[in-house]
Amino acid sequence: MAFVLANIGLFAAFAAVAALLGLSYSLEGMLGYQSTLPGDAVRLMNAGASVLDLRPADQFAAGHVRGAVNLAPGALADWAGKQRKSKQRAVVLIAPPRQSVFGLARQLRAQGFEPVHVLKGGMRGWAEAQLPLAK
């Protein structure tokens, strides 16, 4: 107990970091998506997940996940409206760097898609995991 009292600042900082980490996971769920590592995305794809690449067409043409559909963010509603039978399958979103996908994930969930995953690290994360690219 004396150790804790002597280092109360360190324990308070640890508690704050742990609370923020828990909050970040909770916020993802409330915002309608889950961050997914590339290896987990492969597992989802093997189970039939739809992969939507929201990057510009030139970046998509330079290299993309095999089987991914390239969509402009504005075309997401049209795509979702055509997917009658596949709403029970997972959806993996691949977004360009620094693009917010909160609204897009929420839009998919509102149309009945669940679960919605966002590829953690985007295509850079995919490449760093040394996973194959299609061209």
- CATH code at 120? 3.40.250.10
User: Is position 76 within any domain?
Assistant: yes
Say how many domains are in the chain.
2
Q: Kindly state whether residues 13 and 25 are assigned to the same domain.
A: yes
User: Is position 134 within any domain?
Assistant: no
Q: What percent of the chain has pLDDT over 70?
A: 86
User: Is position 106 within any domain?
Assistant: yes
Q: Kindly state whether residues 23 and 1 are assigned to the same domain.
A: yes
Higher pLDDT, 12 or 38: 38
Q: Kindly state whether residues 41 and 95 are assigned to the same domain.
A: yes
**Domain assignment of residue 20, given as a range:** 1-31
Q: Kindly state whether residues 76 and 42 are assigned to the same domain.
A: yes
Give how far Cα 88 sits from Cα of 25, 63, 115, Å.
23, 28, 8
Quick one: tokens of 10? Answer: 């360190």
**pLDDT exceeds 60 at position 25:** no
Q: Kindly state whether residues 60 and 109 are assigned to the same domain.
A: yes
Taking residues 92-109, what's their average pLDDT? 84
Confidence at 34, pLDDT banded by 50, 70, 90: confident
- The pLDDT of residue 98 is 75
Taking residues 88-115, what's their average pLDDT? 85
User: Is position 86 within any domain?
Assistant: yes
What is the value of pTM for the model shown? 0.75
Q: Kindly state whether residues 110 and 87 are assigned to the same domain.
A: yes
State the DSSP code for 75: G
- Exposure of 116 by Cβ count < 10 A (0-12 exposed, 13-18 middle, 19+ buried)? buried
Sign of CA dihedral 64, 65, 66, 68: negative
Q: How far apart are CA 108 and CA 33, in angstroms?
A: 10
Q: Kindly state whether residues 122 and 76 are assigned to the same domain.
A: yes
- The pLDDT of residue 96 is 86
Taking residues 48-68, what's their average pLDDT? 94
